[in-house]
Structure 1
Amino acid sequence: MIDLHYWTTPNGHKITLFLEEAGLAYNVHPVNIGKNEQFEPAFLKISPNNRIPAIVDTAPADGGAPISLFESGAILLYLAEKTGLFIAQDLRGREETLQWLFWQMGGLGPMAGQNHHFNAFAPEKIPYAMKRYIDETARLYGVLDKRLADREFVAGNDYSIADMAIYPWIVPYERQSQDLNSFPNLKRWFDSVKARPATVRAYAWTDKINPPKA
């Protein structure tokens, strides 16, 4: 059983995508970051960086004590290794998956996150910062569009944790001032992932615990 400490952010959605695709049993423990629940002592024991998501695997593969993990990329890799799913088993395929997972963690996520902050949430509008992060997000979209020109999924022809890591950061493309029609390969991939039944189930958690306000 996986205990998932979660909120409905792009990083949170990564983990529900995997759990739904893999059919793993899991319990959701909402951590409402709007109410600063990420600073609760019990959560900090699992995620010392006070960020969601985090998991506790109560039945790790070695049969030992429960394992807790934070950082969404580390959690995806752990779950892929635990199940043998959504990561290639050969050396080259595995490295293809990992480099695009880390591309999201080190590039797309931070840049799109700053885009969200300066364009939607910052109390002061700073044109330089707004333009910088819109442009960098567009550059990264272009990298991904080129990557997807000759393959179905990011790491090749098989759906993987790289796709799961990247997709939630493309979902808010309008907030990022991006037009998917400008990136046809990316749009084709995005629509394909969006239509997967596991994606639909994963995103249903939003309506359950954090429905959009009127």
Structure 2
Amino acid sequence: MLDFSLVTQFFPFLLEASWLTLELTVLSTILGLILGLIAALMKISNSKPLMWLADFYLWVIRGTPVLVQILLMYFALPQFGIQLDAFVASVLALGINAGAYIAEIYRGGILSVPKGQVEAAESLGMTYPTIMRRVVLPQALRVSFPALGNQAISMLKDSSMASVITLPELMMTSQRFAATNYAFFEFYIVAAGLYLLMTTILSFFLNKMERRMSQSER
């Protein structure tokens, strides 16, 4: 028989774990946005070594599971004298993973900007960094924003994989209480509800931001 009264006893701990999940998502997304922008700029550069380095990064990260990357970050790096706690290892692994996908999103947005605008900026004497900062990237961001929002939502759900290195985020906390109380359905269904709530709220704010950007473009 189902007994959700067990969940209510531990619900404050689940909320605390949800907050940790949000922190992990935000920091990983920020790192992914930074790495993705760097990789995208490297891919469209005229420097062959930079292009090759960006291609290698995307090839390795997109071709291996994020779960393996988390395990390598937490368990393998200590063999080289680099000891990271579970939270830092999770942020780095998830952020590096997201950066490889965000790079392609950025690149698509950058390439969507008409070349005529770049040529016009060059005729005005703007330098390449100025053109990217004032002409290309603002437009690329507007084009890329829906895909970046989807990536942020995916990041929130992928954060559950940090449970494999015992980070006490929502999934790990739910697993622990479910196993202790033999109430797997109750705890897992509540965990699913909390994930659904967080993704719904995140989607609401992202859609609101997207509408504002569309209005400002007009």
**TM more than 0.5:** no
Q: TM-score, normalised by structure 2?
A: 0.29
Larger radius of gyration: 2
Q: TM-score, normalised by structure 1?
A: 0.29
Structure (1/2) with the larger strand percentage: 1
Q: Which structure exhibits the higher relative contact order, with contacts defined as CA atoms closer than 8 Å and separated by 6 or more residues?
A: 2
